[in-house]
């Protein structure tokens, strides 16, 4: 079967005749394409290519490294990565699945040290770790040490935690936020495929700015879903806080770093750097104000945001109706 499909695109202007624009299934990884049809898993592959392109545009020579251990709902990521090995290799992105989750996390930790003493081939290496909930549990030792040590200022790490709240395909029902909260790793909760891309780009910016690993919650409703998304490399312009509260020597990884100094840096400085960066980029937003005298507030995160919006749409003119009913809706991207 041909991999060519067509999509009807209407020309602008009154009375213009529609025409058929050619669309290729490989468009999902073509960074010159804007609107692409893609799954959440494929979005992670595209994200690594986008980060490389964003770094090049910023004058940085970076590499990428992806490692983890398969398990639903992220079970298809390794297959998607393997399929695009030649494309990834050409962009200095290495995919190496781990023998287990711990070893994969340790390898990702190592990537943040690649140029720490000036001997690396790249200005930095951005990493992606993936694993399901029980794998998050077993890798806590590595996550704790690596998050304390910090990330490279031109690297950064995303931690994709595959959660299965109702044990549909797992031996336990698991939710990883509590574990990452204990490790002081910030957690982003995308509502769909578009936000997997957007939060991935934001996550690397946050990881570099605050020197932390950044968790991205992946459930089947997001990572295994499909959508047409805006895949432009320059879709997002990341904003740094107007007031920089970081110490003069920054928050990134460094050699010969005493343990208790790492501890102080995490609890005293990294925490506030994360909050400042999230606020500067408006990751947590008010969607409906509820009018001047809002009486009911609804706070949503991840997939639940889309569920609430659907419920409001089913009730009629959602935003106007919400304001009439004094209902304020907030979405929390960084939970």
Q: pLDDT per residue over 63-95, tens digit each?
A: 999 999 988 888 899 999 999 999 999 999 999
DSSP state of 11: P
159 vs 157: CA distance, rounded Å = 6
pLDDT single digits (tens) 55-66: 999 999 999 999
CATH H superfamily, domain 29-280: Thiamin diphosphate (ThDP)-binding fold, Pyr/PP domains (3.40.50.970)
Better pLDDT: 22 or 182: 182
Strands (DSSP E) found in the chain: 4-9, 19-24, 35-39, 62-68, 93-95, 124-132, 157-162, 187-188, 214-218, 226-230, 284-288, 296-300, 327-332
pLDDT (mean) for 306-323? 82
- Residue 225, class by beta-carbon neighbours within 10 Å (0-12 exposed, 13-18 middle, 19+ buried)? middle
**The pLDDT of residue 271 is above 70:** yes
Angle at 199 between CA 21 and CA 131, to 5 degrees: 105
Residues 6+ away with beta carbon under 8 Å from 150: 112, 211, 212, 251, 252, 253, 254, 257, 262, 265
Structure-token pair, residue 334: 């960084």
pLDDT single digits (tens) 99-132: 999 999 999 999 999 988 888 899 999 999 999 9
Inter-CA distances, 314 with 287, 295, 305, 307, 328, Å: 17, 21, 14, 11, 17
pLDDT at 10: 39
CB 200 within 8 Å of CB 47: yes
Better pLDDT: 56 or 311: 56
pTM over 0.75: yes
Structure-token pair, residue 296: 């009911």
User: Rounded to the nearest 10 degrees, what angle do helices 271-280 and 193-210 cross at?
Assistant: 130
Better pLDDT: 7 or 264: 264
Q: In the chain, where are the structural domains located?
A: 29-280, 284-332
Highest averaged pLDDT of the listed ranges 161-165, 175-179, 267-271: 267-271
**The pLDDT of residue 268 is above 90:** yes
pLDDT (mean) for 276-285? 95
CB 179 within 8 Å of CB 91: no
Average pLDDT of the chain? Answer: 90
**The pLDDT of residue 147 is above 90:** yes
pLDDT (mean) for 7-32? 65
pLDDT at 3: 39
pLDDT (mean) for 302-313? 89
pLDDT at 61: 97
pLDDT (mean) for 316-328? 79
pLDDT (mean) for 19-45? 87
**The pLDDT of residue 144 is above 50:** yes
């Amino acid at each position: 079967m041909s991999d060519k499909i067509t999509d009807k695109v209407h020309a602008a202007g009154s009375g213009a005749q529609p025409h058929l624009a050619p669309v290729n299934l490989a468009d999902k990884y073509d960074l010159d394409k804007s609107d692409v049809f893609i799954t959440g898993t494929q979005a992670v592959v595209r994200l690594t290519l986008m980060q490389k392109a964003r770094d090049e545009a910023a004058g940085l020579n970076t590499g990428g490294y992806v490692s983890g251990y398969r398990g639903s709902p992220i079970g298809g990521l390794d297959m998607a990565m393997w399929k695009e090995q030649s494309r990834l290799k050409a962009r200095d992105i290495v995919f190496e699945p781990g023998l287990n989750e711990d070893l994969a996390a340790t390898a990702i930790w190592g990537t943040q040290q690649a140029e720490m003493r000036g001997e690396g081939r790249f200005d930095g290496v951005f990493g992606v770790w993936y694993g399901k909930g029980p794998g998050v549990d077993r890798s806590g030792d590595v996550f704790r040490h690596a998050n304390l040590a910090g990330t490279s200022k031109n690297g950064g790490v995303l931690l994709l935690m595959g959660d299965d709240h109702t044990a549909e395909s797992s031996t336990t029902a698991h939710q990883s936020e509590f574990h990452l909260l204990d490790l002081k790793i910030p957690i982003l909760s995308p509502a769909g495929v578009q936000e997997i891309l957007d939060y991935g780009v934001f996550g690397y910016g946050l990881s570099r700015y605050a020197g932390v690993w950044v968790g991205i919650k992946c459930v089947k409703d997001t990572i295994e879903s499909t959508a047409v998304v805006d895949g432009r490399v320059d879709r997002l312009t990341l904003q740094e806080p107007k007031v920089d509260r970081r110490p003069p020597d920054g928050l990134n990884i460094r050699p010969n770093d005493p343990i208790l100094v790492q501890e102080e840096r995490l609890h005293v400085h990294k925490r506030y750097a994360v909050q400042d960066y999230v606020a500067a980029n408006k990751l947590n937003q008010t969607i409906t104000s509820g009018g001047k005298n809002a009486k009911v507030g609804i706070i949503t995160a991840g997939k639940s945001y889309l569920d609430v919006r659907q419920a409001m749409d089913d009730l009629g003119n959602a935003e106007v109706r919400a304001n009439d009913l004094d209902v304020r809706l907030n979405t929390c991207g960084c939970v």
